[in-house]
Amino acid sequence: MQNRSAIQGLSKSIICGCILLSNLQARVDNMTSNKTITISNIEHLPEPVQRFLKFSGVIGTSMINRIEIEQVGRFKIGPDKPWASFTAVQTYDIKEAEFEWKVKMKMTPFVILTGSDKLQRGKARMKMLLYGVVPLVNAMGAEIDQGAMTRYLSETIWFPQAFLDNHITWTAIDSLSAKATLSIAEKSVEGIFHFDELGPVTSFTCHRYSSEGKAFVLRPWRCPIDEYKAFEGIQVAAKARAIWDFPEGEYTYINLEVTNIKYE
């Protein structure tokens, strides 16, 4: 009986200890996510990256984890295809370096496509449905992973706090550019952020896999930024484009505008 009582007492202590540790970890996570960004937090970064973070207005604000972005714009599914209007909502998780993009695209007055582009734990999946029912695209694989990770890296211009995240490392180039490397689950991609003298990012350039017929080809890819706007006090790229540079010429396939951002 005494042994049973001792075992029960020990079990209760272990359970209470686990609960206390869980609560403590939750408090630590919460404190980390709410950490105030200071000048000292950015001093290790290349000079143009520091200049951008000061311009963006994140100094003195709390570190965030979740972001929701609303977008409108135009999309082309091929160089010789017409433009289609779209609306989209995209959510990001900085702590996990993940995102999900949900889009509704009006190809013609009577043809509607819905789809999603998702990156989770370094793996991506792209889906597209006709009228939300008929499958048109269901793409996965190493090249899709690389494309989605590159996309995440380029889109950190909408949540500059991610420039300080451990998933991203920086290499100085010169006063107007810096290389960023995004690492997730033993995978990595890289790209170059270009800045102007006053601080804003002007474009992002890299190489990304392009789906061409049944093959994937590594092509130059870039995202020029056309306009900035403040959301919740943070200056971010409100209008941008994405462009493939093919041997026969450039192919601009998306023009988008950010209409709303929520930071958590």
What average pLDDT is seen over the chain?
A: 89
Secondary structure letter of residue 41 according to DSSP: G
| Rounded average pLDDT over 225-234 | 97
Question: Among candidates 193, 187, 195, which has minimal Cα distance to 167?
Answer: 187
Domain segments of the chain as ranges: 1-33, 34-263
The CATH number of 34-263, from 3.40.50, 2.50.20, 3.90.580, 2.40.320, is: 2.50.20
| Rounded average pLDDT over 24-43 | 66
pLDDT over threshold 50, residue 29: no
According to the model, what pLDDT value does residue 25 have?
A: 42
Task: Tell me the one-letter amino acid at 23.
Answer: N
Q: For 40-55, how does the pLDDT look when each residue is reduced to its tens digit (9 = 90+)?
A: 999 999 999 999 999 9
Give the rounded percent of residues in the chain with a pLDDT score beyond 90. 78
According to the model, what pLDDT value does residue 214 have?
A: 87
According to the model, what pLDDT value does residue 21 have?
A: 40
According to the model, what pLDDT value does residue 131 have?
A: 77
The whole model's pTM is what?
A: 0.85
According to the model, what pLDDT value does residue 137 have?
A: 86
pLDDT over threshold 70, residue 19: no
Q: Which residues contact 20 (CB under 8 A, 6 or more apart)?
A: none
DSSP H helices, the chain, are: 2-33, 47-56, 142-154
How far does the chain reach from its first CA to its final CA, in angstroms? 53
Q: For 239-261, how does the pLDDT look when each residue is reduced to its tens digit (9 = 90+)?
A: 999 999 999 999 999 999 999 99
CA atoms of 212 and 94, how far apart (whole Å): 31
* Residue 254 CA: distances (Å) to CA of 8, 28, 75, 207: 63, 40, 5, 17
Here the tokens at position 52 are 């951008």
Question: Among candidates 102, 111, 103, which has minimal Cα distance to 82?
Answer: 111
